[in-house]
Chain A
Amino acid sequence: MNASDLSLTHLQNTAASHDELLNFGTPALPTNFPDPLFSAVTRVNASVHNPSTGETAVVTNVFYEVRSDGMPPSRAYWIGRKLKRAIYGCVRSCTVLRVREGGWNGPHGNSFWEITPEMAAVKIIDLSLVRKFRGKHIEDPLKEVAAMQFLCRNGAQPNVLPCWDLFKDDRYIYLCMPFCSSGELFGIVERSGRFEEPVARFWFGQLLNVSQIVNNFDAQHLLRNRILLLI
């Protein structure tokens, strides 16, 4: 299957009417996402340096990936305040840490960390609640992490919040994502009352971009070239 064949079928899928879908094939059940792959994690008390104040302190609740090759993780997460409650746990903000120069003492040693300007949001999913609600609730957190990992498998998509890390230990799943400092678009609309049309178009365009990503269709490109494609 070459790229232009795929583009053409993406175009067909984007333009297809309900009747075309109905006439072309029989309905089916959704297909499954691949099972998510979890990395090993450790939760420690860590020595953290703050470069902007020059202070160093031992803090609790730092977690990071335990890599099988013994190398330091790209990010460690220092758990902060609760942002949101969820059915299976909560979402917390995290300060992203990195290993200080020469401060790595192996995944299970006392390493030395420093604060970065980066912030993360981590969804902490309590596995005992997952087991308790299995099949009783339509929202399945394992499906969410599977979908997120699937959508990130070829790198982050432009308008879907990416997954930086996915960990599991005996009690929790940790889904680590970038922190979005401006909050929900809902709040921005609410504060404005409503948007001027160019502002709404700006946000709506990004939402359509999601549809393209979710369906992997390079619409702007195809719209520019649609006459060529349709001839």
Chain B
Amino acid sequence: MNGVCHRDISLENILVDESTKALVIDLGMCIRIPYNSRSGIPEEVVDVSMGTLRKLIYPQGQCGKPNYISPEILANIEPFDGFAVDIWAAAIVLFIMLVGLPPFELASHDDPRFRLISRGGLHQLIEQWQRPISPDAIDLLQNMLNENPRDRLSLFQVMDHPWCRAV
């Protein structure tokens, strides 16, 4: 068991071997996620092997490629969830695969396309660009790209999403 957050997921950091297997590389930004101890003492930290719920992580600085950095890592103020930042980057990977372009330059309100998606307008962006994708794909991307990590899909919800479950 690993309990590791990659923090630098991108299309450049996924290599493909001769049998079309995708392999993630560049673990230089990886961090080990802290987990709650079973003792009930809230400050106590253990690793993933105790089978407990993970903790949020104090800000660790901005990292990752500009297109892929989540808003909370960019802001670098609040404790973040190690899973949620990788989910965000995975959404950018999926967006680029489906649309052929990154959704925005930076997950910042200075970026008009980020503002549009934060308002729930991902479908409008897709219409403007005239690169149609399925309604399920739009729904999945919009909910993975929720600015507030509280509202972002969990890994479970992503895997359980109709777009991912379609055969």
Contacts and interface: CB of A to CB of B under 8 A. Distances in A.
A25 B2 contact: no
Contacts of B163: 197, 201
Contact of A161 (B23, B58, B63): B23
A98 B145 CA distance: 48
Contacts of A133: none
Contact of A180 (B17, B30, B57): B17
Contacts of B47: 31
Nearest to A178: B17
B93 A193 contact: no
Given A6-B51, A30-B60, A201-B164, A208 B155 contact: yes
Nearest to B53: A24
A158 B21 CA distance: 9
Interface residues of B, number: 82
A141 B45 contact: no
B136 to A, nearest CB: 9
Contacts of B83: 13-14, 211, 215
Interface in B67-92: 79, 81-84, 86-87, 90
B125 interface: no
B4 A151 contact: yes
Interface string B129-159: 0010110010000000000011010111111
A52 interface: no
Q: For the complex, would chain A's binding face be called helix, strand, loop or mixed by DSSP majority?
A: helix
Contacts of A203: 14, 22, 97
A170 interface: no
B139 to A, nearest CB: 13
Contacts of B116: none
Contact of A27 (B14, B51, B57, B154): B57
B155 A186 contact: no
A94 to B, nearest CB: 15
Interface of B: 1-6, 9-18, 20-34, 36, 42-43, 45, 47-58, 60-61, 63, 79, 81-84, 86-87, 90, 93-94, 96-100, 131, 133-134, 137, 149-150, 152, 154-160, 163-164, 166
